[in-house]
Structure 1
């Protein structure tokens, strides 16, 4: 009754009073019409904004399959339609971000299970190898063989000689690697002698150490559009978040969808001053005002200047 055409002058006040006293914003009639449907059909902008703010379902459909946005468009309420379109966009983006976060959490769980399964397989292989070596030594009448350990001298030698001293020649070579300029005759405008921690955006980012799940996780798409997966360590099908199949594949198997740009080293900045410029119409000695006058004569209509 508050959103009927007869109560239009007082619709906003009545709706606000009802909501403040606990009215449910998502109730519906026998035809599936919610308060947001009625407010959108009547073009009540303030009522639509209030219902959206209190959590009314912008994606609700009536018995004919119409959303509040479609009713606003059918009755020609453009301002209300923009409000509903914006609210639906924000809700869709929020839902998409939540689903993507669920996919990332599921991926992290899969990575932990994958590493755990790899560790168990490694221990099983080591136990089998140890048993085979023991059986071979026993058949040959040899004492039990032990795996060699790294001696103190080897560890000390590795620690002392693992880091190579940085000479002046190596520093110059590393500095020249970043001297990328489209014009070799001119030095780059950036200061490359600063520390690498300051120039974070120039150096390529380190690759994330993640295992390849493509060999151990299999995706299955059902006829109704739902996606589930099975893993090598668990054959029980597990439902995936309600996302498109290509989004799930790119999220779980990023190595199968490499980027067109592998790293920032392929992006070489160029300055406008380094690019070749076209000379003037009368050579380099002509005044720039001469070129301006020629352009005016070509662009403006005769007799108008």
Structure 2
């Protein structure tokens, strides 16, 4: 009984000692702890303020640079695309605010803006794939043989490209007699809308990527459809550029998806700065480079090799086609 009481008292004494030690320790350390925390907080606030100032300064400089480039944009691209006919193809979700700037830029470069084809959300919807495939097969010119591995969107891209682009300048501005009714059929099915005269074929194309990466369960297939359209146009014209923002060159974006392909990645040029005035000038430069038989990945995002193409020699009329 005595031993039990002895051990019990000893245990209680140990816990009391620990408690007193913790209280005394925290009392002694408290001022130093609070002082250190206050100093750290103050330092973080100062650093945060410095970073915000730097960001604000960089944004001001960027806006100033963009304003300067915008003011001289027509001079920067003048004569870059003399006589070339250019069509704009918008992916579902492409930023509508870039339509007019792109049209103006093509005109400033000496080209002719043919019009616009805007693919709808229905075009990339999973439950419409069979309809896209059926239209492509039924509207393909007589004798057309698609590769066995061709997807519905590969087929549709080929058929649509035949209706709006050509690599023969003598055919530019004319409708393709073997593709009559293609655009109307896709429009009647709710798969696209048109503006201008895209059916009067162009020699070059700009594909405008979605403003945001697709995120639903059909996102990969939808993004691949945009890549197929760009590749299909490039196969039948004198040059195609897939243009977008750094969102498009990031994970899940159309430009990133194009870079992951084989032949299309080496043929279709990309620009991921189309939301900047300088980037829109680069779109024109990339088209001009395509006329020399070269392509590249331009911008500031993942996969870009430089901001703009190297200064190119005058394009040869027979460089592509």
Q: TM-score range by the shorter chain?
A: under 0.3
* More strand as a share of residues: 2
